[in-house]
Amino acid sequence: MNWAVIMAGGSGTRFWPESRKHRAKQFLDLFGPKTLLEQTFDRVKKVIPPSRILVFTASDKAASTAKLLPIPRSQVIGEPAGRNTAPCAAWAASLVLKKDPSAVLGIFPADHFIKDEITFSKVLRVAFGQADGSGMPVTLGIKPDQPHTGYGYLEIAGKKATVRGTPVFFLKRFHEKPALAQARAYLRSKKFLWNAGIFIWRADCLLETTRRELPAVFKTIVKLAAGGISAVVAKKLFTKVPNISIDHGLMEKLSGGILTIPVSMGWNDVGSWASLGDLLPVDRAGNLSVGTNILVESSGNVVKGTGRLIATVGLKDHVVVDTGDAILVCPVSKTESIRKIVVELQKRKMHRFL
Amino acid sequence: MNWAVIMAGGSGTRFWPESRKHRAKQFLDLFGPKTLLEQTFDRVKKVIPPSRILVFTASDKAASTAKLLPIPRSQVIGEPAGRNTAPCAAWAASLVLKKDPSAVLGIFPADHFIKDEITFSKVLRVAFGQADGSGMPVTLGIKPDQPHTGYGYLEIAGKKATVRGTPVFFLKRFHEKPALAQARAYLRSKKFLWNAGIFIWRADCLLETTRRELPAVFKTIVKLAAGGISAVVAKKLFTKVPNISIDHGLMEKLSGGILTIPVSMGWNDVGSWASLGDLLPVDRAGNLSVGTNILVESSGNVVKGTGRLIATVGLKDHVVVDTGDAILVCPVSKTESIRKIVVELQKRKMHRFL
């Protein structure tokens, strides 16, 4: 059967001051009344019933995460430490295998945005079928519409099949974030897709690959999945496993091949405040304005308030966010550096803003 | 004897959101614990005793203005309407003449900044002496240190005298705000000074010039100074007088000449948020930061908060002001346009921010 694991362990600082230590990006309601995690859950449950959806998050957020979603607490797994996606995926695989030896596992980041959910559902069903039949991992590859330098890329090889109108390709290789010239070449070639971090893989194959390629992870995961160990011991064990992603730690080691399904579904990794301007309706001058704002002769800004008036004049391409206790102002081009503010807050021990 | 009138009628919007309808620039404490008006009063009283200082302000602010200053309510005159400086000066002259027929009147804007108060006092004493002896108005002209296009200029003619080391010149003429090329030529020639709006003039000469050049103003002023008329009638009368400045309405009409004393005293008209960066201590990156602010890789900004955290990264040459209920963000180069925000607030009937 098809299973899903939603990875909600991120602790992003790029949405400060909205995101804080205990309110990471996946717990923000950037696009309306629901958090990114809830939106991801709602999207996934159209293909996989809630009873077969696991959610992994940091252990101190497990209880609140369970309250947010219509699943029992037992389906929310608290990770004792953040160790990237490979250990998490292996853990999930070993848990679902105990209930379903033929499980196929979809792995989804909790904090991305997907506009076209119908296409997502359709492609996901094809991906589950392909993963189940082939034993190979299937990745969803986003068709690029710009030479983005902030994403990893998937280079496709020959076509394997076309399933209900959806072509499925073999993956040639993974590529790291490119420089701009490279990204432009990728875009022109049409053989490169954005790596959206969505993987579908038979749980037994995933776990077997872990046993072979990441034996230290495998040993720990077996112990954790067996249950009956204390939180202290679990943390001690998990902290020691390598911090490594599914792509690098597992998939790249496969000689048996990887599949990729190219898809256009309005995907965005919601990487920064600036990305909101691409995802939400903007005014004629290209401003995204949420709250009580007066923007005079201003363009290309992301302005988000919480009741207080924000007024700008002549402001171009800036982010202004007011959360009540803190105000952020920075150029759109500098949103990647917001974490430096968080570092500075830590340095000054201004804990209430962290 | 020497008298002073401080003109505190301004209703500036350039310091929004700090300045509001009932809290004009002169009532702001931009430079420490005291308001600009109090600072002006303290500066003037070093030369003229408080009992001979009158303060003119808008009638609805007269009571609160009197509370701010160590003078009786009777020395604070509420103008029924804003009519620029000529009617106000004539009114002040007629009031002081009733008590002192030989009064010499110093006229001071309430909302300027002067760093070097010792030089101010010294030059002011010379100016009072010259005004008393000659019957001519004396203007203080600020020696320019940059080709400023935001000020009017005074062009000097020949030297009249040097008094206790202070040279006194005849004024050739007033000049409006120049274009940049013109301002550069002014700076090079060394014959042009900034018009600081500070005038010293015998009250009888001032009033006689008003009678001759602005008879409508004169007639109304005589009635107002006589007293015994209702606020409603006073407003009706005053609203009808021409809106005209001392320079244009009175001084420029004089054939008898005007005197000017050039002075360097760290004067600034505090015309905008940007000017604060020139007047207050800034950090190494040229930021003026007031409040709990974290400025990362930011330079040339004016950031003023009131308790809440303001954090910036990569911000260059912007003004950020938080007053608790409203936040302003604009480039330093656009501070002249802040009034457009106020216009927009009026249009949207957002009265609580006005």
A77-121 pLDDT tens trace:
999 988 999 999 999 999 999 999 999 999 999 999 999 999 999
Q: In chain A, whose CA is at the least distance from the CA of B354?
A: A309
pTM: 0.86
Q: What is the pLDDT of residues A250-271, one digit of tens each?
A: 998 887 799 999 999 999 999 8
Query: Which fold does the domain B2-268 belong to in CATH?
Result: Spore Coat Polysaccharide Biosynthesis Protein SpsA; Chain A (3.90.550)
Q: What percent of chain A has pLDDT over 70?
A: 100
CA distance A312 to A280: 20
Query: Mean pLDDT of all residues in chain A?
Result: 94
Query: Mean pLDDT of all residues in chain B?
Result: 94
CA distance B231 to B224: 10
Write down the pLDDT at residue B62: 93
Q: What is the pLDDT of residues A112-125, one digit of tens each?
A: 999 999 999 999 99
Write down the pLDDT at residue A32: 78
Q: Is A333 in Cβ contact with B315 (below 8 Å)?
A: no
Q: What is the pLDDT of residues A114-161, one digit of tens each?
A: 999 999 999 999 999 999 999 999 999 999 999 999 899 999 999 999
pLDDT band per the 50, 70, 90 thresholds, residue B231: confident
Q: Is B17 in Cβ contact with A309 (below 8 Å)?
A: yes
Alpha-carbon distance A45 to nearest alpha carbon in chain B (angstroms) = 39
Q: Is A341 in Cβ contact with B329 (below 8 Å)?
A: no
Number of A–B residue contacts, CB under 8 Å: 122
Write down the pLDDT at residue A307: 84
pLDDT band per the 50, 70, 90 thresholds, residue A40: very high
Q: Once rounded to an integer, what is the mean pLDDT over residues B10-30?
A: 87
Q: In chain A, whose CA is at the least distance from the CA of B334?
A: A314
Put simply, whether A193 touches B (Cβ < 8 Å) is no
Return the CATH architecture of domain A2-138+197-251.
Answer: Alpha-Beta Complex (3.90)
Write down the pLDDT at residue B203: 98
- Ordered by start, the domain boundaries in chain B are 2-268, 273-353
Put simply, whether B330 touches A (Cβ < 8 Å) is yes
Q: Is A318 in Cβ contact with B310 (below 8 Å)?
A: no
Write down the pLDDT at residue B109: 96
Alpha-carbon distance B292 to nearest alpha carbon in chain A (angstroms) = 10
Write down the pLDDT at residue A11: 73
